[in-house]
Amino acid sequence: MKIVQDYFRKFDFKPEDIKRYLRSALRDLEIAEKDKFPEVKFTYSYQALIKTGIALLAKVRKLKVRSVPGHHVKILDEMGEILKREDVVVIGNAMRMKRNADLYGGGEIVGEKETDDYFKFVQTVIAEAGKKIGNG
């Protein structure tokens, strides 16, 4: 169980903890939807995706995410496995790499159309994950 030791740890979550994680993801998605700047929409869409993964891991696998290098990749991998959606891994990692290029590489331009596509993708993933998470 190296993956658990390196990136996650077992944790007994209360239902309200899981609800709080999901509410935070939905709040980020709402910000993404309302903001006019593509960069803000993109960033908050990505954050919503990762936060949804954190909620999903808490609910389904009883895992708490450790903040270590590479943890976003592992969140996306686990999310894709739980939802049985390889596109979560592929598109999620594309978003992650764009975010990293913007953050660490002097800026990555994300166009409006691309941002809208990512936003719609994240919406569908959150809706599907929300069904698995339920009421916490």
Q: Does the pLDDT value for residue 1 go beyond 60?
A: no
Average pLDDT, the chain: 92
Give percent of the chain with pLDDT exceeding 90: 83
Q: What is the pLDDT of residue 4?
A: 65
Share of the chain above pLDDT 70, in %: 95
Please give the pLDDT value at position 106: 75
DSSP states of 57-91: IIIII-EEEP--TTHHHHHHHHHHHHHT-HHHHHH
Q: Is the pTM of this model over 0.75?
A: yes
For the stretch 48-99, pLDDT in tens is: 999 999 999 999 999 999 999 999 999 999 999 999 999 999 999 999 999 9
Please tell me the predicted confidence (pLDDT) of residue 100. 83
Q: What is the largest CA-CA distance in the chain?
A: 43
